[in-house]
Structure 1
Amino acid sequence: MIAELNLKPIAIIHSGFKEKFGIPRQPGLASSMTATIELLPEFASAEAVKGLETCSHIWLVFVFSACVDKGWSPSVRPPRLGGNQKLGVLASRSPFRPNPIGLSPVRLETVRIENNGIYLDVSGADLLDQTPILDIKPYLPYSDIIEDASFELATRAESLDLDVRFTPAAEAALHTHAARLAVPLQTQIEEILRCDPRPAYHKNKQDERVYGIRLHDLNIRWMINSEYIQVNEIILDS
């Protein structure tokens, strides 16, 4: 029996998500979000990624680095259940686990070898910027897709069927920053906000407060009601 196991990160991810609030709770829900995985120098070998470019998707095994010092509890209150019902931590995807390890499938866009560095460009990742990556594995459709798999407490992806509107000031800023960052910023914002980042106890209520999420180097100020989501401001993060 192994009493203790020390794992060394092999890479870090460079992502537009600068804080936990606003990150979709599952991978693939914001498919327009791109990120870059940078292999650390000790593992940045062209031989190590040979053949990986033939994969359409890969698995990322990572550390919930923002939760390492937060400890864990045998029961949690998943947002999907409204934050009121308790569930066993091992029946959830809570980051507050006995070992804070996560697993995400992402689309592999390109494998780049530049200036002795190895970079994997991916899309659909739900990882905080600078998250340590413990391992990378190919996604195998013939074995990783289980057609009759089920989980009664989570039968489908949750997404709000609401229009996302931008104030005139926000729309002007949107075009400016989308061009500067060279990303589909409007699509990214819409996908993220339709995932409803609000805490579970704020949902299903008349909510007139203004929320903020940090995305790339921006602060997105937004609010939500029963009819639409409104982006009030898009400003450079101070």
Structure 2
Amino acid sequence: MMEIHPIAYFHSPFTSKFGIPRQSGVVPEVEGEIVFCKPYDNPVAVRGIENFDYVWLIWGFSGNPGSSGNSIQETAFDDGRDDTVHLSVRPPRLGGNERVGVFASRSPFRPNGLGLSCVRLKEAKKGRLVVLGADLMDGTPIYDVKPYITYADAYPGARSGFVDAAEWQPLAVVFPKELQQGFSEADIKAISGALSQDPRPHYHKDSPRIYGMPFRGKDIRFRICDNKVEITDII
């Protein structure tokens, strides 16, 4: 068995899983930092990375039950048939009602709890990288960083399975000016972008309840009605 350990940890304005964009790049305004652990905090480890626009992150779903920030463990799944092995999932893109195979999805519940994200590199600093568009929670362990290479990693026109067939329309977001105080323009765009993706669990789609999304130490309170998100308060 191979044992792997974090080479870095991610710092994000999203301090819980709720509200995090479901895919990297969906909300490009979200800014975060990759902070390297010793000995990888040495500038030699990232020499030349500033010449790339995007990087791949291999990371761990540390917020899932049974996961660990220091090692990869098998995660138990519930597909209604087995308590330990989960072979199918219900993607939000399909309304949470239709199942596809776990390996035909990007569900966060993986057999080995590993995530893969492509993020835009904004800046390389000593011992850290500033990136945009990540779909990672604050404190997420990073297991590897690799540069994105266009000729090898991009396949324009490739089929995307059920994603091609299931049209996704972002929700309109109403963010009152009086509630925007204390947030930067980038943060306002990041909050609005995240909420436009409808972070509610699929089984809450008909609920008029008030939700709270943690962001930079504050609780963004909102409700959704008629395909519109209304931010009601900032706690």
Q: 1 or 2, which has the higher helix percentage?
A: 1
TM-score computed with the length of structure 2 as normaliser = 0.87
Percent sequence identity over aligned pairs: 39
Alignment of 1:143-158 (within 5 A): 143-155=152-164, 158=168
Cα distance in 2 for partners of 1:229, 1:50 equals 43
Within the candidate set 180, 188, 195, 1:186 is matched to 188
Contact 1:58 1:108 in 2 (8 A): yes
Q: Point out 4+ residue stretches in structure 1 off by more than 4 angstroms.
A: none
What does residue range 132-147 of structure 1 map to in structure 2 within 5 Å? 132-147=141-156
* Residue 72 (structure 2) aligns with: none
* Alpha-carbon separation, structure 2, partners of 1:129 and 1:158: 27
Let me know the Cα RMSD of the aligned residues.
1.7
Cα distance in 2 for partners of 1:46, 1:152 equals 40
**Cα offset for 1:79?**
1.3
Equivalent residue in structure 1 for 2:139, among 116, 130, 138: 130
Which residue in 1 is equivalent to 2:55? 58
Residue identity in the other structure for 1:22: G
Deviation at 1:183, TM superposition (A): 5.5
Displacement of 1:151 = 2.0
Deviation at 1:86, TM superposition (A): 1.6
For 1:13, the equivalent position in structure 2 comes to 10
Counterpart for residue 30 of structure 1? 27
Q: How far 1:65 moved relative to its partner?
A: 0.8
Whether the 8 Å contact between 1:31 and 1:123 is mirrored in structure 2 is yes
- Is the contact made by 2:212 and 2:220 (CA closer than 8 Å) also made in structure 1? yes
- Gap regions ≥5 residues in structure 2: 67-74, 78-85
Is the Cα contact below 8 Å between 1:174 and 1:185 reproduced in 2? no
1:44-84, CA deviations, whole angstroms, 9 ceiling, x for partnerless residues?
12111110010100000001111250523111111111112
SS at match of 1:90: helix
Contact 2:210 2:223 (C-alpha < 8 Å) held by counterparts: yes
Determine helix, strand or coil for the equivalent of 2:32: strand
The answer on 1:112 being equivalent to 2:125 is yes
Task: Count residues in correspondence.
Answer: 218
User: How far apart, CA to CA, are the structure 1 residues paired with 2:62 and 2:228?
Assistant: 34
Kindly state the Cα deviation for residue 7 of structure 1 after the two structures are TM-superposed.
Answer: 0.6
Match of 2:180 in 1: 174
SS in 1 for 2:11: strand
Query: Are 2:24 and 1:42 equivalent residues in the alignment?
Result: no
Alpha carbons 1:33, 1:125 under 8 Å: kept:
yes
The alpha-carbon deviation at position 8 of structure 1 amounts to 1.2
C-alpha contact 1:106 1:125 (8 A) present in aligned 2:
yes
Unaligned runs of 5+ in 1: none
1:181-224 CA-to-partner distances (Å, cap 9, x unmatched) read: x4522211210111010111233x3x421111101111000011
Task: Indicate conservation of the 8 Å contact 1:68/1:100, yes or no.
Answer: no
| Distance of aligned partners of 1:125 and 1:157 in 2 relative to their CA distance in 1, 3 Å threshold | farther
Amino acid at match of 2:76: G
| Counterpart position of 1:209 | 209
Instruction: Tell me the CA shift for residue 13 of structure 1.
Output: 0.5
Q: Which of 154, 158, 170 does residue 160 from structure 1 map onto?
A: 170
Helix, strand or coil: the match of 1:230? strand
Q: In 1, Cα distance between the equivalents of 2:51 and 2:98?
A: 43
- C-alpha separation in 2, matches of 1:18 and 1:68: 16
**Contact 2:9 2:142 survives alignment (8 Å):** yes
Query: 1:127 Cα shift?
Result: 0.1
